[in-house]
Amino acid sequence: MKSERQKKILDIISKQNVETQNQLIDALAAEGIRSTQATLSRDIRDMHLVKEMSPDGVYRYTVSVKEGVLDHDLRLRKIFRESVVDYATAQNLVVIKTLPGLADAACSTLDSMEVPGLVGSIAGDDTCFLAMRDNQIAEKFCAEIEKLL
């Protein structure tokens, strides 16, 4: 739920100028996602959103571009592009092969993202085992990995 909401927030602020949290709450509601101001405030902090002046001269929410501050999707994409060698499903398990020594980083990033349907993960030196709630979620997650690579 949290990761879906945060993805939708990123989608909304990339498509329209959002000046206030109330505008963002309304935009989320229009997408079928209910949120409180307190939850939205935590999301803004967690996602490192900042207000910057748009070309129109109004302040709007955007992702911080400070060095070292990346949103989860960008972090995962970077880690996967630089380390993942192969992946496969085995029923409800997703097995990810990485370059030697990088499986822990891949698993740690996934764990921090609250991936829907991810029950748990184990990392070795170059292999991650992800236990998904069911086979269908495992297949869907592998499709997402394909997009990241």
- The pLDDT, as a whole number, for residue 69 is 42
**Residue spans per domain, the chain:** 2-63, 72-148
> Taking 90 as the threshold, does the pLDDT of residue 28 lie above it?
yes
CB of 94 closer than 8 Å to CB of 86: no
Q: What is the pLDDT of residues 101-139, one digit of tens each?
A: 888 878 877 777 778 899 999 999 999 999 999 999 999
Residue 57 has a pLDDT of 80
Domain topology for 2-63: Arc Repressor Mutant, subunit A (1.10.10)
Beta-bridge mates of residue 51: 61
Task: List the single range of 9-18, 22-31, 84-93 with lowest mean pLDDT.
Answer: 9-18
In angstroms, the Cα distances linking 133 to 77, 80, 104, 114 are: 23, 22, 21, 13
Predicted pLDDT of residue 68: 42
CATH no. of 72-148: 3.30.1360.40
Indicate the pTM of the whole model. 0.51
